[in-house]
Structure 1
C-alpha cells in the first residue's frame, strides 16, 4: 500500500486537486478545489484511497456502510466488496414511485452505519445523510472522509454526535504537495489564509 504522502501526489497528478479562483457551492469562491470524481478513471488510485479508508474503518465498529451521494459512493462500494461489509445507497431525493425509498439496500433497526464521504467543508452533505439514516433507526456515530478542508465541518458534525476521521486535512495535504514540489509557498499561504477566513458554524452547514 502506498503512503499517504505518495497518495496525495498521485491525486494531484491525476487532477483531483485544482488550484485557482474556483467557484464552489452556492457561488462561494475557493483557491483550491478537491474533485475526487476523477478517481473513478484511475483504478489504482481508487484502490489506494479505499485501502487507507479501510484502515481507518477497521478501528471503528460498524455493521454497514453508506457513501454520501454521489462522489463517495464508488469508495463505499469498493470498501463493501473488499471487506464483505453490507452497503446502503442514499438517494438525493426520495423515490417518487414504487417503494418511495430514500435508502436503498437491506438493513435492520439499530445497526451501526459508517458514513463515507469525499470532502467535508461545512459538513452539510454528511448531516443530510446522517439524518436520513437516523430516521430509519440506524445508529450513526462516525464518518470517514478523504479530505477535511478544516473549515468547521468537523466541529459541526461533532455537535451532532458524529466523529469525523480524515485521511488528509487541508493543512496536511498542502504541506505534502509543497514538499513534493507540486505547489509553492505562495500557494500554501493563499490556501492557509482562505481556511482561516472562510469558516462555517452550526447555522452555516451547506456542504
Structure 2
C-alpha cells in the first residue's frame, strides 16, 4: 500500500468506519453491523489532498472531460479530483447530479459546465448495491454525457460491482470493505 493510500485508509478507518452489533440501516434498506460515514473524512482538510491524488490516478486512465456524481457524497470527491487535475494542468470539468431536478431556474438535474458528448467518470464515496452510482450514470447519460466508468472510495462488496458491470461499466474502488473488517478484527 502506498503511503498516500495508507494515510487515507487510516483516516477513513478512524473517522468514518463505524461498527455496532445491532446494526445500521443502509440506503439499500439492508441492516449491517458496519457503516461508512465517509463525509466525516471527505470533508476533512487532511483527507482532501489524498482523495484528489488517489482518485485522480484512477480517473485519468479514462481520459475524461469531466467527473461528477450524486450529491451529497460525491460533492467533495468531485472538488478534490478537479483540484488535483488542475494542479497537473489537465482540463477537467466537475458536475453534481441532484437527487431531484432544481425547482426553479434551469430545473436541471446536472449542475456544472458540462456539455453533451463529454466523456465522464462518475465518482462515489461508498458503493453497496450500486443504486446511487447507477442513478448518477442514468442522469449523466440523460444529459448526453458518455459515461466511461465509476470510481469509488470504498466497495462494500454487496453487489454494486456486478450491477455496474451489468450496465457495461467498470467499477474501480480504492478500498474494499474487507480491508476495514480485517483491520477491525486485527
Deviations 1:121-167 (A, max 9, x none): 00000111111111111100201000001111011111112210000
With the length of structure 1 as denominator, give the TM-score of the two structures: 0.80
Describe the superposition over 1:174-201 as per-residue Cα deviations: whole angstroms up to 9, x where unpaired: 33x2xxxxx226xxxxxxxxxxxxxxxx
TM-score (norm 2): 0.88
Q: Which residue of 2 aligns with 1:155?
A: 162
Which deviations, in whole Å up to 9, do the C-alpha atoms of 1:48-99 show, x marking residues without a partner?
1221111111212200110221112111112112213111121110112221
The aligned counterpart of 1:59 is 61
Aligned residues: 178
CA distance in 1, matches of 2:28, 2:117: 35
CA contact (8 A) 1:141 1:161 kept: no
- Residue in 1 that maps onto 2:172: 165
Superposition CA RMSD, Å: 1.7
Checking the alignment, whether the CA contact within 8 Å between 2:149 and 2:169 is kept in structure 1 is yes
User: C-alpha distance in 2, partners of 1:140/1:66?
Assistant: 10
* 5+ long unaligned stretches in structure 2: 87-91
**More deviation, 53-62/140-149:** 53-62
Which structure 1 segments of 5+ residues have no match?
A: 178-182, 186-207
Runs of 4+ in 1 over 3 A off after TM superposition: none
Q: Name the residue aligned to 1:192.
A: none
The structure with the largest alpha-carbon Rg is 1
Q: Give the Å deviation of 1:5.
A: 3.0
